[in-house]
Copies of this chain bind each other. A is one copy, B any other.
């Protein structure tokens, strides 16, 4: 990590043109100071409460979407029950542990996808998403 957590979060927000409010700064620190993470709005909300950060659930949702739009987060679609956000925005894929609902990154280079079928005219590929669904729970 870094030794200037506050300054880093500030810079991160400024870089994408988001006004660095108290809430956004605090959430950015929770999100980005602890390496690659996968979390839901509810998870982040609980973390914020545990850290005594005063922020509403509505603001959590707002921030998650703004961060995503700004490219600081990525949405991962695993199912219809809730939305996961990934702090790792580099090109990579996921294991999804169906029994515990956990997501685990697979490094981008470790998965190769070859598709013989073209996207139709007038369209272009936005992203290729691979989810490897796993039964059972990882030891970790």
- Mark A residues whose CB is within 8 Å of B: 75, 77-83, 95, 97-98, 106-107, 109-117, 119-140
Contact = CB atoms under 8 A, between A and B. Distances in A.
Give how many copies assemble into the complex: 2
A139 to B, nearest CB: 6
A126 B119 CA distance: 27
A130 B133 contact: no
B122 A117 contact: no
B116 A110 contact: yes
A89 B123 CA distance: 26
12 contacts: A95-B119, A97-B123, A106-B115, A112-B115, A113-B113, A119-B134, A120-B139, A122-B137, A124-B135, A126-B133, A128-B131, A128-B132
Contact of A80 (B83, B115, B120): B83
